[in-house]
Amino acid sequence: MAKKKPSDIDRVVQKAADAGVRLIRFLYTDNGGITRGKVTNVTRLYDRICDGIGLTVAMQAMNMLDQLAPVEGMGPVGEIRLTPDPATFRVLPYADKAAAMTVDMLKLDGTPWEACPRSFLKRQIKAAADLGIALQMAVEFEWTMATKQPDGNYVPLDETLCFSTTSMTIAHQVILDIVEALEAQHIPVELYYPELGHGQQEMTIHHTDPLAAADHHVFTRETIRNVAYKHGLYASLAPKPFLDQAGNGGHIHFSLWDTKSGRNLMYDASGAYNMSATGMSFIAGILEHLPGLLALTCASYNSYHRLQPHFWSSAYTAWGPDNREGAVRVASRYKSDEEGTANAELKAADLSMNPYLAYGALIVAGLDGVRRKLNPGEPTLVDPGNYSDAERKKLGIKRYPTSLKETVDALEQDKVLTGALGPLLTASYTAVKRLEYQTFSQQDDTYETKHHFWKF
Ligand code: GLU
Ligand code: MG
């Protein structure tokens, strides 16, 4: 493994000194989808970037309830190194004298640990590049803002309407602070609006390459939660924080670009909906692998409360142009840049995902479709939930698995996805998710929402 150029490290140390930073967070996101980390004093920054910070191997067997799942080799013995990517350094606008970087999990010999999610994503980016494809990705952030009552219950920030200007007024100051905090971290915000659910907000950030997009995902989630907290609010990015309200999606947008010509490979002016054959095959791969892919993109017990028909979250293996009830929506292009704006989104995704695993698995599924030249079949032009069972059967449209347990089973059966994850990541991820399912399925809805509310 090539040593990082000293100049990269020097640059980060200098930046930290210039900004008066004292504490630098090394952030990783685990198999439970939780972002955790360790913090170095600035006095030790140079060495910690070179060597990383030690972490017990057991953390990749820990679920979102801090329960340790039984995974061979992930117990009290053994250690890895949280080794930061200097390119991700940013001063945190919401924490005094603090900065952060995202990390790779490396073995003591400096090579990527087989259970490292960020290294998994890097491998899939490489697999795409080997086919001449460079992806662009971005996630849409939906979240619910709430206050916490003395009895511990959360109450939505408002009870206003979808896209309501009243809601904009109520949330204005916190939203402004979130936008400015993201921009200060060089994360380009595109749009903001109040969403359908009480207290629900949505913000979109500009697409970039998958690794930077996943890093942005982590920093954006951190920023939304932390800035809201400074305003005395709780920002829940859980899939269904209030069971009687609209859920929070984390729709993943993607487009494919030719590594040589720089052209958008998904765009074909003569194709249906201007979508190329390659784009169609990529979508077909996602649909084919969807049952197992869901275990990674809709990754929590709470996710399956969100994925209901007629909630605009998608519940069926359908695709269509601007169809917001299909698993994959082919987005309409914008006239100012027809080619540049050709993209599709996976609606069956929420922010309890580990972005490195979810984006990586989406790439695996899509590339399988491209390699096999799969065809997604006819588009669905209506809400697939309005068809009868017989009609859906005839059209080959299937309801998603309705629990985390079923999708984890499907993931284990999916040799393409597990082949790319490798044995250790597959074993640890499925064990963590099974333990989450086992615990939550023995409890009631109140326990479920309480324990998901502020984890993501
Ligand atoms: N809140 C919806 C979801 O759960 C998405 C609404 C929309 O933006 O279309 O995915
Ligand atoms: Mg939305």
**Which residue in this structure is represented by tokens 């140390």?**
13
Residue among 144, 251, 322, 351 to mutate when testing ligand 1 (max atoms within 8 A of CB): 251
202 CA from centroid of ligand 2 (Å): 6
Asked if residue 260 belongs to a domain, the reply is yes
CATH number at residue 186: 3.30.590.10
Atom of ligand 1 nearest to the CA of 248: 4
Asked if residue 433 belongs to a domain, the reply is no
CA angle 154, 156, 159 (to 5 degrees): 150
Q: Is the CB of residue 189 less than 8 Å from the CB of residue 223?
A: no
User: Quick one: which ligand is closest to 193's CA?
Assistant: 2
Torsion of CA 215, 352, 451, 222, to 10 degrees: 20
Percentage helix, strand, coil for the chain under 3-state DSSP, each rounded to 5: 40, 20, 35
Asked if residue 409 belongs to a domain, the reply is yes
- Is residue 452 left, alpha or beta, with left meaning phi > 0 and alpha meaning psi from -120 to 50? alpha
Maximum Cα–Cα distance across the chain: 67
Task: Please give the C-alpha separations between residue 305 and each of 152, 236, 309, 310, in angstroms, as whole numbers.
Answer: 22, 15, 11, 13
Helix 210-230 to helix 355-371 angle (10° resolution) is 150
203 CA from centroid of ligand 1 (Å): 12
Measured from the Cβ of residue 373, the count of other Cβ atoms closer than 10 Å reads 12
Asked if residue 183 belongs to a domain, the reply is yes
Task: State both tokens at 195.
Answer: 């969403």
pLDDT at residue 224, as a whole number: 98
Task: Please give the C-alpha separations between residue 381 and each of 184, 320, 396, 398, in angstroms, as whole numbers.
Answer: 41, 6, 14, 16
Instruction: Report the distance separating Cα 138 and Cα 250, nearest Å.
Output: 9
Asked if residue 389 belongs to a domain, the reply is yes
User: Quick one: which ligand is closest to 240's CA?
Assistant: 1
425 CA from centroid of ligand 2 (Å): 31
**Which residue in this structure is represented by tokens 């004298």?**
97
Atom of ligand 1 nearest to the CA of 202: 8
Q: What is the pTM of this model?
A: 0.97
According to DSSP, residue 339 is labeled: T
Asked if residue 309 belongs to a domain, the reply is yes
309 CA from centroid of ligand 1 (Å): 12
Residues contacting residue 384 through CB under 8 Å, at least 6 positions apart = 309, 315, 316, 318, 325, 326, 392, 397
Ligand 1: lining residues by beta carbon, under 6 Å: 142, 246-247, 249, 306, 312-313, 324, 347
Segment 68-71 long-range contacts (CB within 8 Å, at least 24 positions apart): 69/428, 69/431, 69/432, 69/434, 69/435, 70/431, 71/427, 71/428, 71/431, 71/432
Segment 341-344 long-range contacts (CB within 8 Å, at least 24 positions apart): 342/255, 342/264, 342/266, 342/267, 342/274, 342/275, 342/279, 343/136, 343/207, 343/253, 343/254, 343/255, 343/266, 344/253, 344/254, 344/255, 344/266, 344/275, 344/279, 344/282, 344/283, 344/319
If one counts the domains in the chain, the total is 1
Asked if residue 196 belongs to a domain, the reply is yes
Instruction: Report the distance separating Cα 80 and Cα 58, nearest Å.
Output: 10
- Containing structural domain, residue 165: 123-418
Per-residue pLDDT of the chain (456 residues; tens, 9 = 90+): 566 556 899 999 999 999 999 999 999 999 999 999 999 999 999 999 999 999 999 999 999 999 999 999 999 999 999 999 999 999 999 999 999 999 999 999 999 999 999 999 999 999 999 999 999 999 999 999 999 999 999 999 999 999 999 999 999 999 999 999 999 999 999 999 999 999 999 999 999 999 999 999 999 999 999 999 999 999 999 999 999 999 999 999 999 999 999 999 999 999 999 999 999 999 999 999 999 999 999 999 999 999 999 999 999 999 999 999 999 999 999 999 999 999 999 999 999 999 999 999 999 999 999 999 999 999 999 999 999 999 999 999 999 999 999 999 999 999 999 999 999 999 999 999 999 999 999 999 999 999 999 999
Q: Is the CB of residue 99 less than 8 Å from the CB of residue 17?
A: no
316 CA from centroid of ligand 1 (Å): 14
β-strand 23-29 against 53-56: which pairing, if any?
unpaired
